[in-house]
Structure 1
Amino acid sequence: MEKTEIIEVKFGKLQGYIDEEISIFKGIPYVEPPVGELRLNAPILKKSWDGVLEALEYRPVSPQPPPINPLFPPPPQSESDCLNLNIWTPGCDANKRPVMFWIHGGSHIYGSGRLLNGKALSRRGDIVLVSINYRLGVLGNLYLPGAPANIGQLDQIAALKWAQNNIDYFGGDPDNVTIFGESAGATSVCTLMAMPKAKGLFHRAVSQSGAVTPNGFDLSVRKTTTEMILEELNLKLEDLEEFRRLPVEIIIKAMMKAQEKAFLTQTEMDFRPYIDGDSLPKHPTKAIQEGYAKDIELIVGTNLEEWRFWRAFEPKFEEYDSSEFIRRMKGILKSAGEDEKKTDGLIKMYKKSRKENNLSINLAETYEACMTDSIFRIPSIKVAEAQSNHQKNTFMYLFKWKTPYENGRYGAMHALEVCFVFGSFWEDYLFTFPKRTPETEALSKKMSDYWISFAKIGNPNFDNALRWPSYDKDSRKTMIFDNNIEIKEDPLNRERKMWSEMKNWSYF
């Protein structure tokens, strides 16, 4: 292993290693260990360390339940050593490169910053790439009086502050930072756009499949979630100090038991950030709509068949009869504030639109399309609409490339686009995701280059590339990513119009 020169940042000396001309630093602590009185407390920026920190290996991640999706391997975990970040850079010099700051997904319960290798994207774009770990689940977003709200988001803000103070030592420009994330990471991106404490810490944003739903940030759901977990621990809302003294393993087990009960009783549990009137004053989409993030250039988009990702959890999915899918679609309408009696009309509209777009009209896939829209596509469109009123550099995409795995069973599923953006295919262990082929390489280069250009200048367009028009409510021009990329106006517009008329969406 070829090591880098020892560099000195504001908190001490550290040394990474070099791989294919990229200097890599792994497991850099950015705050003090979140244990004892700092469990369920705001992060405190890291104090100086003695000696030389060897940043050669990934460090543990936030404690979390075993992954419910068999596609993702469980990483080593440690509460005391989980708040760390990783950096890939072409050089620790004075070149002031754009910084791309990655926030991982995982329902705010799972995941880590170590899943994706930033080397290829850093090298291709001559950019500095940062990935982070932050507190998750029961340690990141509980509601307990006396504890700060949105602790996981506060960790992300602390990591952004660390980057502001130190990224120039790694050849990065603190005045040119793009945050980007997928799924829960994209939800975090949109939330950061609405958080006062994050102001000025980043300049551009990319939201890939964020779940910024109308009711997703309600405090009432966090209270229910917290109470269910505390019940398993024989604690009450006012027992913050007792909670801080419990072994983390017991807390995670209580969270898992509460999740099982919630599933059986169909009780909603959620670990997304929540509106507390302080750290997050209002719903992110509402704040964006009111111009709170008007200076932030934005790319936002989703995948065509997001919900197919969850087929991995239901091996007998295709065996369900029509009554099960109808029951589920009634639930979708109910969550949107609509009468369940409208289910037949909902199904007819989806089937008509899907037939017009040469998509399957069987009920299982119609249900999946409805879930994709309600949780990911429509919320993302609403964010794009809101920002486009204030920021001309707002861009929308729809990712349609389909994985061939299991005869196409998973389609253009959730998280599939991430490999293409990073140019780092997960073929070693995530067999559902694409392998490196001439076809996938070609699409990956196009997507990577759009993201890189956006990080550099706030606009994804560059020489000799298909022009990606900005998004507005008149034309709704959207980039379609597939083997052949193209621009379409208002794709799947029947569904968009229907959702915009639903009660809970009228808020936006």
Structure 2
Amino acid sequence: MEDESQTEVTQTGEGPVRGIRRPDGSLAFLGIPYAAPPTGRRRFQPPQPVVPWTEPLDATRYGPTPQRREEPNAIIPEPSVPGTATLNLNVFTASSSGARPVLVWIHGGGYSSGSSASPWYDGRTFVRDGIVVVTISYRLGFDGFGVIDGAPDNRGVRDWLAALEWVQRNIAAFGGDPARVTIAGQSAGGGAVLTLLGMPEAQHLFRAGISISGALGDLPRDRARRRSELLASMVGCEPTLDGFRGVKERALTRRQYEASLLGKTGLAATTATLTDGLPWGPVVDGDLLTRPTVDSYAAGVGADKPLLLGATDDEFTMVFDRAPRILRWVPVPLALLIVEQTRALRRGWRRANRTRRDAGSALGRFVTDRVFRSLVVRIAETRRDARTWVYRFAWASPTNGWSYHCLDVPFWFDCLDDPHVARIDGEDPPQRLADEMHAAAVAFIRDGDPGWPTWRTEPGTTRVFGDHPELSRAAYDDALPLV
């Protein structure tokens, strides 16, 4: 237990919580349950209410995480914390008084890994700038997104909704304004933002969204069902609620990420998400998600909400740095056959990307454009006259020469001083760039405007975050053939 003189108690609707006052003056309330532990009869069910308590709950340490094993090659430090009460959240604030804007952060990890306990997601710099920060956990992989006879689909999405409902009920007790909630996330977390923005049922829970390198799920239900049935055969159970409940969590965790679920091996497994989607993620189930997300935008859902979105220049190009050496000698047009069978798309993309002269960098940029950058353009165009701001992260890491996936996160959070940052950003990343990006995020959360023209005000306008401040109307032109 922490020194009582350094703690503070705040009353929530479920009971009192004791957080910790930190040396920088911020308050942290960690591991607050927003739903009951998803165990026993609650396993594979929608999030259930917690049992209220009367004595102060110790909220001075991070709570258990749905992630049970840390990914060995994870770029962002995201620790796993053991325990059963995995549906919890963390609140970072300056005081329990006031009505400050709120940032709700949804972590990434391909909907199958990740942790809200990352030191990079600590909200201290946003608190410094007048914002209350909430970081949430949610069920991952098969637990959150598998299709099971007798259980509701999209349990992970339902967790997001339950956490946001907690924020609406309780954030005023932490000095936050429930009417000024911005949801934000990176990778799968950015995809979660896009999914929620397209859900009619979620519109009352937030006022704006930030999607950083957003990876949409939108998996067809039949595909998710087939994968769930294959997983059942791999662990030796019936693909039913009772069948999966009879399998230990560890057994499912060990098998649910195997490449065989996608039916691909080798280099094809690397690019399988182009054609088959992520192994697990939000499912278009006809109930909670009635249609693909971009179709919802076309129908006007979320049009009243400001959106800031963008991607890095080479999200996953570094993957091909580890590809077999023979790939270096493969002509680019031939290499593109690995990821795209339509000749017109390949030729159109090649014309827009003539500088990609080796197969590895061409494949990396193509994957980036197909999964991330073309999606940015599709969303910005589909939202028509809705307030949409676009950015492009173009600063390349000195560690490998790429502007790659997750590289920008410590810039948004202004945490370049974290010891884990040097591994991906080098020993001297530009603080000027962190100042610019963090300030844009703060302005958007506070005022609903990051500080440059919207995509539609001056068509194609994009804020380029790189070596030099720049506004461009052609920043995504090289991805247009894939839109």
| Corresponding residue SS for 2:316 | helix
Q: Is 2:362 aligned against 1:370?
A: no
Provide closer, same or farther for how the CA distance between residues 108 and 18 of structure 1 changes in structure 2, counting only shifts above 3 A: same
Provide closer, same or farther for how the CA distance between residues 302 and 257 of structure 1 changes in structure 2, counting only shifts above 3 A: closer
Give the one of 310, 314, 325 matched to 1:305.
314
Give the one of 116, 127, 139 matched to 2:143.
139
Provide closer, same or farther for how the CA distance between residues 72 and 174 of structure 1 changes in structure 2, counting only shifts above 3 A: closer
Distance in 2, Cα, partners of 1:328 & 1:45 = 52
Q: Aligned residue for 1:296?
A: 305
Given that 1:90 and 1:122 are in contact with CA atoms closer than 8 Å, whether structure 2 keeps it comes out as no
Q: Aligned residue for 1:8?
A: 11
Distance in 2, Cα, partners of 1:247 & 1:31 = 21
| Corresponding residue SS for 1:114 | coil
Given that 1:33 and 1:79 are in contact with CA atoms closer than 8 Å, whether structure 2 keeps it comes out as no
Distance in 2, Cα, partners of 1:471 & 1:73 = 33
Q: Is 2:181 aligned against 1:187?
A: no
Distance in 2, Cα, partners of 1:35 & 1:324 = 52
| Corresponding residue SS for 1:225 | helix
Task: Flag structure 2 segments of 5+ consecutive residues without an equivalent.
Answer: none
| Corresponding residue SS for 1:25 | strand
Give the one of 382, 386, 397 matched to 1:386.
382
Q: What is the TM-score with the length of structure 1 in the denominator?
A: 0.86
Provide closer, same or farther for how the CA distance between residues 36 and 413 of structure 1 changes in structure 2, counting only shifts above 3 A: same
Give the one of 336, 344, 347 matched to 1:345.
347
Q: Aligned residue for 2:339?
A: 332
Given that 1:395 and 1:470 are in contact with CA atoms closer than 8 Å, whether structure 2 keeps it comes out as yes
| Corresponding residue SS for 1:291 | coil
Q: Aligned residue for 1:218?
A: 220
Q: What is the TM-score with the length of structure 2 in the denominator?
A: 0.91
Distance in 2, Cα, partners of 1:291 & 1:456 = 24
Q: Aligned residue for 1:412?
A: 403
Give the one of 434, 451, 461 matched to 2:425.
434
Distance in 2, Cα, partners of 1:107 & 1:426 = 26
Alignment of 1:47-66 (within 5 A): 47-66=51-70
Q: Aligned residue for 1:84?
A: 88
| Corresponding residue SS for 1:5 | strand
Given that 1:425 and 1:435 are in contact with CA atoms closer than 8 Å, whether structure 2 keeps it comes out as no
Q: Aligned residue for 1:281?
A: 290
Instruction: Using the TM superposition, give the Cα deviation of residue 322 of structure 1 relative to its aligned residue in structure 2, in angstroms.
Output: 4.1
Instruction: Using the TM superposition, give the Cα deviation of residue 331 of structure 1 relative to its aligned residue in structure 2, in angstroms.
Output: 4.0
Give the one of 469, 490, 498 matched to 2:474.
490
Q: Aligned residue for 1:465?
A: none
Alignment of 1:195-234 (within 5 A): 195-212=199-216, 216-234=218-236
Give the one of 95, 106, 110 matched to 2:109.
106
Provide closer, same or farther for how the CA distance between residues 146 and 344 of structure 1 changes in structure 2, counting only shifts above 3 A: closer
After TM superposition, the runs of 4+ consecutive aligned structure 1 residues lying more than 6 A away are: none
Q: Which moved more, 1:160-169 or 1:32-41?
A: 32-41
Q: Give the letter for the 2:471 counterpart.
A: I
| Corresponding residue SS for 2:79 | coil
Instruction: Using the TM superposition, give the Cα deviation of residue 366 of structure 1 relative to its aligned residue in structure 2, in angstroms.
Output: 1.4
Q: Aligned residue for 1:127?
A: 131
Given that 1:120 and 1:424 are in contact with CA atoms closer than 8 Å, whether structure 2 keeps it comes out as no
Instruction: Using the TM superposition, give the Cα deviation of residue 260 of structure 1 relative to its aligned residue in structure 2, in angstroms.
Output: 7.0
Q: RMSD between aligned alpha carbons? A: 2.4
- The alignment-based identity, stated in percent, is 27
Distance in 2, Cα, partners of 1:147 & 1:499 = 37
Provide closer, same or farther for how the CA distance between residues 444 and 399 of structure 1 changes in structure 2, counting only shifts above 3 A: same
Give the one of 478, 488, 500 matched to 2:462.
478
Instruction: Using the TM superposition, give the Cα deviation of residue 196 of structure 1 relative to its aligned residue in structure 2, in angstroms.
Output: 3.0
Provide closer, same or farther for how the CA distance between residues 296 and 343 of structure 1 changes in structure 2, counting only shifts above 3 A: closer
Distance in 1, Cα, partners of 2:374 & 2:90 = 33
Provide closer, same or farther for how the CA distance between residues 435 and 52 of structure 1 changes in structure 2, counting only shifts above 3 A: farther
Distance in 2, Cα, partners of 1:108 & 1:182 = 11
Provide closer, same or farther for how the CA distance between residues 316 and 257 of structure 1 changes in structure 2, counting only shifts above 3 A: closer
Q: Aligned residue for 1:401?
A: 395
Q: Aligned residue for 2:27?
A: 23
Instruction: Tell me the number of residue pairs that the alignment of Structure 1 and Structure 2 aligns.
Output: 470
